[in-house]
Amino acid sequence: MAVESGACVVYEVTDYHPGNRCQDLIFGVTRMVPGKVGREFFMTRGHIHGIADRPEVYIGKKGRGLMLMESPAGETRVIEIGPDDICYVPPFWIHRSVNIGNEDFVMLFCYPADSGQDYGIIARSNGMKHRVMDDGKGCWALEENPAYQTRNRDDIKKLLGEAG
């Protein structure tokens, strides 16, 4: 899968699907080019797993990036990832990767094969709560997204699989 911005491919994903059962693992590689839109670093579309309690593991191979994670209740966590760093995305966390370097950011990933992806969760909140921006001093900084819509209690319960 390749995702484009204008005429250029921003990131591409190549993976192996052995099947669709939770006992199988999808394994692959993601590559994102460096760049920014305004001051915001290039990022993946981001998602929560369609079966939200499925986790994922990422392993940095090349470049410098971040995993931007958000809980259904709106807590943000950021993990920096460089070559050979391992990032565990726990069950129920929305996740998106960001290239904060000046070269391709490449990671391996692995997750249960029945996980699926819900990309709409970010759109329904008008984006993630935080954006990863160039701070103008050679580093990155989190900035609050003023358009962010907090999820209501019922939506959070539904995501967590709790009875309403």
Angle at 48 between CA 150 and CA 123, to 5 degrees: 50
| Residue 118 or 134 having the CB closest to Fe ion | 118
Chain-centroid distance of CA 60 in Å reads 14
Which residue number places its CB atom closest to Fe ion? 56
In whole angstroms, give the CA distance from residue 52 to residue 140.
29
Task: Give the interface with Fe ion as residue ranges (CB under 5 A).
Answer: 56
What are the distances in angstroms from CA 111 to CA 66, 102, 115, 117?
Answer: 18, 28, 7, 11
**Burial of 118 (C-beta count, 10 Å sphere; 0-12/13-18/19+):** middle
Nearest distance from C-beta of residue 1 to Fe ion, angstroms: 13
Nearest distance from C-beta of residue 151 to Fe ion, angstroms: 18
Do 130 and 144 touch, CB atoms closer than 8 A? yes
| Residue 56 or 70 having the CB closest to Fe ion | 56
What are the distances in angstroms from CA 99 to CA 33, 74, 108?
Answer: 7, 22, 14
| Residue 28 or 34 having the CB closest to Fe ion | 28
Nearest distance from C-beta of residue 143 to Fe ion, angstroms: 24
Nearest distance from C-beta of residue 47 to Fe ion, angstroms: 6
| Residue 110 or 133 having the CB closest to Fe ion | 110
Nearest distance from C-beta of residue 88 to Fe ion, angstroms: 12
